[in-house]
Structure 1
Amino acid sequence: MKRRALILVEGNTHGTGLQYVQAAQRLGLHPITLSANPTQYDYLAAEGTEAVHIDTNNLDELIRECSRLHATYDIAGITSAREAVYATVGKLCRHFDLPGPNPSSVERCCDKFTQRQLLAEAGVPIPAYRLALDATEVESSAAAIGLPVIVKPAVGNGSYGVRLCRSVDELAEHTTYLLGGTHRWRSSVRILVEEFAHGPYYCADIMGNEIIGIAAADFDPLPHFLFHKSTLPAPLSDQDHNRIADVSLSCLQALGLGWGPACIEFRWTTRGPVVIEVNPRLAGGGHRQLVQLAYGVDLITEHIKLVIGEEWDLRRRHSQTAAVRIFNADRDGILDRIDGAGRAAAVPGVAEVKFYVEPKTPIIRKGDYRDTIGHIIAASPSLAQTEAILQRAVDLIDWSITPFPA
């Protein structure tokens, strides 16, 4: 009898990829990662996991490789932890008649301009927006919407190239960055200019058409959007929770989603919940751990069950408040040291203390998720207790970055 395999197209360097590998193994599956550069995922070698070097942007090559693997393995499912290849995953699943996302829906969702158009047509509340193809159009779009505006690539994730521009000078500076060859474009140059929606931030974690939970979060100082802290569940009234849930389901319907994971980001403005972005994937920033700690639901395991055609179980096992504090580099330079991780991990109620970089590592900030150097996650029966635990652990951490010589 052939061994059952789960094909993972690309991985993830901040924990998600490893979690997919480990969840697959717990389900009795043999994980095989297809990647354009398998060496970038340290966990593959550490886990002794099979990997295949292949151009993951080439659908025909992926089909041939999966066909070759099928001669040895029973391919139970195909999926990915990375949004950039998720539409390709959907096409592979359709080719091999396996459960998977609708690739057309994923492609529409991943194009932020198309996403905005579809949400607007469906009457979903969104910020004012315009598409710009050059510096002149960026300037005129910002003038029409009114400063401050958010300027970002129309395709991308992880806050790549996203910045709040509060003045004409900041607008010109960021436009030069995006158009001057520094930013790496996935496809053609297309810039989205959006109204800056003021208000508290929330994120709905979704599987299929079910709202798993709604988290609250805040950010490090602007102009970039680096998460500082997230809390699940968000301290919302039942009425406000239901409003976010209703808008979330409207987003799924408008975009043709509703299979597998999604996360929808909001700002609560004077208009109520306004949709910032719909992502056809699991949320990052520790959200999966928060869901597991708060409700006892392992979203990655349940996603894999769906991928391999088994029945998932999204029932809550318990109810706690979980929170993550995220550490972001505050300057460029050499990371000299990180102290106190062991002491912080020993604080009762702390679930995880993790740093992604080692001392003596050069730090060059990018203004996106790559600036994150670590996190602490805690959980307890109440919001006040969780916040106290988290703060106690954070106070035990000390790290320093020495600026580069002038």
Structure 2
Amino acid sequence: MAKRALIQLEGLQMGTGLLYVQAALRLGLHPITLSADPARYDYLAADRIEAIRVDTDNLDTLIRECSRLCATYDIAGITSANESFYAKVGKLCQHFDLPGPNPAFIERCCDKFTQRRILAEAGVPIPDYRLATNANDVESSAAEIGLPVVLKPTVGKGSSGVRLCRNVEELAEHTAYLLGEKHPRILVEEYAQGPYYSVNIMGNDVIGIAAGDFGRPPHFVYREFTFPAVLTDDEHDRITDLSQSCLRALGLGWGPTNIELRWTTLGPVVIEVNPRLAGTPDPQLIQLAYGIDLITDHIKVVIGEACDLRRRHSHTAAARFLVPDREGILDLISGGSGAAAVPGVADVKFYVKPKTPIVRKGDYRDCIGHVIAASPSFTQTEAILQRAVDLIDWSITPLDETKQSAAP
């Protein structure tokens, strides 16, 4: 009998890709990663996971490779933890008659302008917005909306290219950056101010709502996530109702969805709908908080099996990201073992090694590690997290000092 295999398009560093591989193995599946560059993912070689080099941007090439694999394996499902490839996953699933997301709905959701237009037509509260294709468009759109505004590319993830522009100088600077980075379409958005929440959904069920915190503007680099968010019953119900309105408007509801919103003076306002499972550390936090393994449940949906989304317990789980405040060369990062030994700490991970150049991008790539903790209460979890983070230390030599020391 042929081995049942799970095909994964590309992967993700920072933990999520490996978690998918581990969950597949626990379910008795043989994980296979198709990637344009398998060497990008350290965990594939470390865990001897089958990986095949293939052009993952070419649908016909992917169909041929999956057809070839069908001669050896029983392909149980095809998926990806990477939003950029999720529409191709849907097309492959349609071709091979496997359960999967609707690729047309995924594609229109991944275009932030199209997503905004659909949500607005459905009456979902969103920030005021305009589409711009040049510097004049950006300037006039910002004048209509009123500064400050948020500029972002219409396609992207992890806050890449997203910046708060508080004056005309910042507006011009970031416009030039986005156009220079070959982003032909720019979204100019009203700055929605208020507490940030992240909603994790499987199918049509809201699994958990997290509270998130960012570092200093003008960028949106995550500092901390906490499950569950501290909400009144009315706030929870309003966020749940709003999230399900997004699913209906965008045609989602198969598999995972992540919705980001702000609670403004007018109530909850949707910032973004992501037609995928949220990345690290949301799946780990949900498992610690509720005992629900969303990655395993996602794979079960992918292979056509029923998943169990019942909560096993109710704890508070939180993650603190380690974010440097300067650029340079990372001399050392230490204290991980001591932090991991603190009772209640569930995970300590460093994403970079000493001697790595630190170049701040203003997005998720600025994080150099995280600490995750859980306990029965919010106050206790925060105390555990702070105690662990206080044990971690790192030092960075600025690049100008590095150049000086290297000079003859």
Is TM more than 0.5 here?
yes
Aligned to 2:304: 309
8 A Cα contact 1:203 1:263, kept in partner: yes
8 A Cα contact 2:204 2:244, kept in partner: yes
Aligned to 1:367: 362
Aligned to 1:334: 329
Q: Which residue identity is paired with 2:60?
A: D
8 A Cα contact 2:124 2:242, kept in partner: yes
Aligned to 2:205: 210
Aligned to 1:84: 84
1: distance between equivalents of 2:65 and 2:277? 26
Displacement of 1:285 in angstroms is 4.0
Q: Secondary structure at the match of 1:194?
A: strand
Equivalence map 1:4-403=2 (5 Å)? 4-180=4-180, 183=181, 185=183, 189-403=184-398
Aligned to 2:406: none
Q: Which residue identity is paired with 2:204?
A: N
1: distance between equivalents of 2:41 and 2:372? 23
TM-score, reference length from structure 1: 0.98
Q: Secondary structure at the match of 2:312?
A: coil
8 A Cα contact 1:2 1:74, kept in partner: yes
8 A Cα contact 1:164 1:222, kept in partner: yes
Point out the more displaced range, 190-199 or 284-293: 284-293
8 A Cα contact 1:149 1:195, kept in partner: yes
1: distance between equivalents of 2:258 and 2:43? 25
8 A Cα contact 2:16 2:280, kept in partner: no
Q: Secondary structure at the match of 2:276?
A: coil
8 A Cα contact 2:345 2:373, kept in partner: yes
8 A Cα contact 1:91 1:103, kept in partner: yes
Q: Secondary structure at the match of 2:400?
A: coil
Displacement of 1:27 in angstroms is 0.5
Q: Which residue identity is paired with 1:231?
A: T
Displacement of 1:184 in angstroms is 5.4
Identity of aligned residues (%): 72
Q: Secondary structure at the match of 2:349?
A: strand
Displacement of 1:329 in angstroms is 2.3
8 A Cα contact 1:215 1:234, kept in partner: yes
2: distance between equivalents of 1:238 and 1:85? 37
8 A Cα contact 1:153 1:162, kept in partner: yes
Displacement of 1:330 in angstroms is 1.4
Displacement of 1:390 in angstroms is 0.6
2: distance between equivalents of 1:102 and 1:249? 17
Point out the more displaced range, 328-337 or 68-77: 328-337
Displacement of 1:394 in angstroms is 1.0
Instruction: Render the CA deviation track for 1:150-187: whole Å, top value 9, x for unaligned.
Output: 0000011111110000000000000111112xx254xx
Gaps in structure 2 of 5+ consecutive residues = 402-408
8 A Cα contact 2:209 2:227, kept in partner: yes
2: distance between equivalents of 1:80 and 1:184? 26
8 A Cα contact 1:93 1:99, kept in partner: yes
2: distance between equivalents of 1:403 and 1:16? 31
Gaps in structure 1 of 5+ consecutive residues = none
1: distance between equivalents of 2:154 and 2:192? 18
Q: Secondary structure at the match of 1:44?
A: helix
Q: Secondary structure at the match of 2:65?
A: helix
Aligned to 2:404: none
8 A Cα contact 1:227 1:285, kept in partner: no
1: distance between equivalents of 2:45 and 2:279? 23
Instruction: Render the CA deviation track for 1:192-248: whole Å, top value 9, x for unaligned.
Output: 000000100001100000000100011010101000001000000111001000000
Displacement of 1:397 in angstroms is 1.0
Q: Secondary structure at the match of 1:98?
A: coil
The count of corresponding residues between Structure 1 and Structure 2 is: 401
8 A Cα contact 1:149 1:196, kept in partner: yes
Instruction: Render the CA deviation track for 1:315-373: whole Å, top value 9, x for unaligned.
Output: 11111000000011211101111121111111000000100000111111111111110
Q: CA 1:365/1:17 → structure 2, altered by over 3 Å: closer, same or farther?
A: same
8 A Cα contact 2:15 2:280, kept in partner: no
Q: Secondary structure at the match of 1:18?
A: helix
TM-score, reference length from structure 2: 0.97
Q: Secondary structure at the match of 2:161?
A: coil
